[in-house]
C-alpha cells in the first residue's frame, strides 16, 4: 500500500514540475540578461563604453515577423571615435535580432 502512495506522489510531482517549466518558458528573460548578451556581442568587435536598455518589452515587426523585444543602446569607441548603436533583443531567447548605428558623438 505504501508504494501506491509513493507512485501517486511521484506522478503529481512530475506533473507540477512540468507545468511550472512550461510557464517559465513563456516568460521573458530579465532585461539585465538581455543587455549583458547584447554587450557581449558588441564586445567581440571592440570596447563598449556605455549601455542602456528599456525595462519593458515592446512589440516590433521586422522583415514580416512579429517579435516581443527589449530595446537598448550601446556606445563604442572605434578608431578613437565614439559611435552609438541601437539594438533589439528577443525578450524570450535573448538573441540580438537587429542593430543599427544611430549617430556619432564627438
Question: For the chain, which residues make up each domain, given as ranges?
Answer: 29-105
Q: Which CATH class is domain 29-105?
A: alpha beta
Residue range 33-51, pLDDT digits in tens? 999 999 998 888 878 888 9
Mark the ranges of the chain whose per-residue pLDDT is less than 50.
none
Question: What DSSP letter does each residue of 4-63 carry, written as one string?
Answer: HHHHHHHHHHHHHHHHHHHHHHTSPPPHHHHHHHHHHHHHTTS-EEEEEE-SS-EEEEET
Query: What confidence score (pLDDT) does residue 17 get?
Result: 75
Amino acid at each position: 500500500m505504501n508504494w501506491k502512495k509513493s507512485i501517486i506522489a511521484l506522478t503529481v510531482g512530475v506533473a507540477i514540475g512540468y507545468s511550472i517549466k512550461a510557464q517559465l518558458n513563456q516568460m521573458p528573460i530579465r532585461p539585465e540578461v538581455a543587455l549583458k548578451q547584447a554587450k557581449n556581442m558588441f564586445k567581440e568587435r571592440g570596447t563598449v563604453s556605455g549601455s542602456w536598455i528599456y525595462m519593458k518589452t515592446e512589440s516590433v515587426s521586422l522583415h514580416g515577423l512579429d517579435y516581443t523585444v527589449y530595446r537598448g543602446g550601446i556606445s563604442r569607441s572605434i578608431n578613437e571615435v565614439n559611435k552609438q548603436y541601437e539594438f533589439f533583443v528577443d525578450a524570450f531567447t535573448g538573441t540580438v535580432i537587429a542593430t543599427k548605428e544611430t549617430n556619432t558623438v564627438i
